[in-house]
Chains A and B, each alone.
Chain A
Amino acid sequence: MSKLGIVSYGSYIPKYRISIEEIAKVWDDDPNEIISQLQVFSKSVPGPDEDVATMSVEAARNTISRWKGNPQDVGAIYVGSESHPYAVKPTATIVAAAIDAEKELTAADLEFACKAGTAGMQMCFGLVKSEMIKFGLAIGSDDSQAKPRDPLEYTAGAGSAAFLIGKERVVAELEGTYSITTDTPDFWRREGAVFPSHGNRFTGQPAYFQHTVDASKGLMEKLGTKPSDYNHVTFHQPNTKFPLTVAKMLGFTTDQIDISLICKNIGNAYSASSMLGLAHILNNSNPGDRIFMTSYGSGAGSDAFSFSITDEIEELKSYPLTVEHYLNNKEQINYGKYSRYKGILR
């Protein structure tokens, strides 16, 4: 029987960065205190001509180009985001047209705070496994908004990651996936509201930590694996401290999680956060490696995944537009430019 798993991957991070210091200056906060709390130094900011659709398309195109396959074979596109450019009108259809996947496919936009992208991956795994489609493209993409002066402002970043799921030339075989879902109001944005609201410290223990730990433990229990079986792990990264803490709670080492920690430089990429970590890991993995991922989405839920890397990975690693490329391709901007690019200045 052929393997089921990730066939290709692609990422995108906008070029602009604003430093924690620059934001702290505006509010007379102590940047060192914030940096030591969050372990984040800067966050990514999309240019004025970027949004979730453009970032999704870039990640999707990188996925397709890296794969070198025919986009017409993509049977499903799901875009997970909490900042879709339209409230009504899918981002997924824009992506479909822009990668030339129209029109024999199913598509939808998903929303589950920061885990809508991994929910899309699960849907694609299901469709491919049941042979309803040949390939499915799951994208996590966000250009998250934060109210000025809200603690979120220090970390609300942007980026996008895409995974092509299929059964041919699989680079990361799916060993299992497992989810936890509860009705936990830790973070929300009402219809029509510009900025999200959150429960401050409530977002930690009963929300992020409980769900991430439960899903991770649950999957390992199901598969009979333990943290030391894995070479790399990625979690949702609302800041750098949370994934480090949860790794410790579960028994993963700093070495295992280190590669995934892109949050230090780009902040919280929301739906793309754990997925960008995974894309970065894949590009730094070797055949035989095992990889663990658990996303977290407020509201709340976690999706855990276990992957095993195949020989096919070597083929894809040479593609130039990697997470690393985008991490290095950056330009610092000041708070004024940031306000303009984010549309806070009108």
Chain B
Amino acid sequence: MEPPKIWRERREKYLALGILCQECKRKSFPITLYCPHCSSENISELKLAQTGKILHFTRVTQTAEELMLYAPYIIGLVELDDGIKVTGQITDTKLEDLTEGMKVRMVFRILSKNGEEGLIGYGFKFVLI
């Protein structure tokens, strides 16, 4: 990944941020300039819940070069305790050990690495509680 992108996205990728609309009071993810529900600009940053449950999960064997070091890995659709749904890896586990509905907790991990010399992309993943 290129420096401006890593820099721009660091807070939302590291901290898992969404927005809370001050107009319609609805939460959404990711950060946008306008509330995706009511188009209001009157929004504030929201820290997403750090725990949730797995709705769907499967294995990824083939992906972009910068993620292949970690493959095969598990990708999950997680519903956080605040109701927000996010896509993220379930790390430190195996497909056989997972079932739908399992509780997970957000952790900070490497998402991608640009070869031996490029920047390291960090972000959130999940581990089983």
Contact = CB atoms under 8 A, between A and B. Distances in A.
Contacts of A48: 69-70, 110
Q: Which of B15, B70, B107, B111 has the most CB of A within 10 A?
A: B107
Nearest to A98: B14
B15 A98 contact: yes
B15 A100 contact: yes
B82 to A, nearest CB: 17
B91 interface: yes
A53 interface: yes
B122 A98 contact: yes
Contact of A94 (B73, B89, B122, B125): B122
A291 B17 CA distance: 40
Interface in A206-232: none
A57 interface: yes
A48 B108 CA distance: 13
Interface residues on A, range: 20 to 34
Interface string A38-66: 00000000011111011001100100000
B14 A47 contact: no
Contact of B110 (A50, A58, A61, A100): A50
Contacts of A61: 108
B107 A58 contact: yes
Contact of B120 (A53, A98, A102): A53
Q: Which of B14, B70, B107, B108 has the most CB of A within 10 A?
A: B108
Contacts of B110: 48-51, 54
A249 interface: no
Interface residues of B, number: 18
Contacts, number: 49
Nearest to B116: A346
Given A53-B120, A85-B120, A98-B14, A47 B91 contact: yes
Given A47-B92, A49-B91, A97-B11, A58 B108 contact: yes
Given A53-B122, A54-B122, A97 B14 contact: yes
B81 to A, nearest CB: 15
Nearest to A61: B108
A49 to B, nearest CB: 4
A96 to B, nearest CB: 10
B120 A97 contact: no
Contacts of A241: none
Contact of B109 (A50, A97, A102): A50
A97 B92 contact: no
A51 B108 CA distance: 10
A317 interface: no
Q: Which of B15, B110, B111 has the most CB of A within 10 A?
A: B110
Interface in A72-97: 85-86, 94, 97
A54 B14 CA distance: 10
Q: Which 4 A-B pairs have the closest CB atoms?
A: A57-B108, A98-B14, A49-B109, A49-B110
5 contacts: A49-B89, A49-B109, A54-B109, A58-B107, A94-B14
Interface of B: 10-11, 14-15, 69-70, 73, 89, 91-92, 107-111, 120, 122, 125
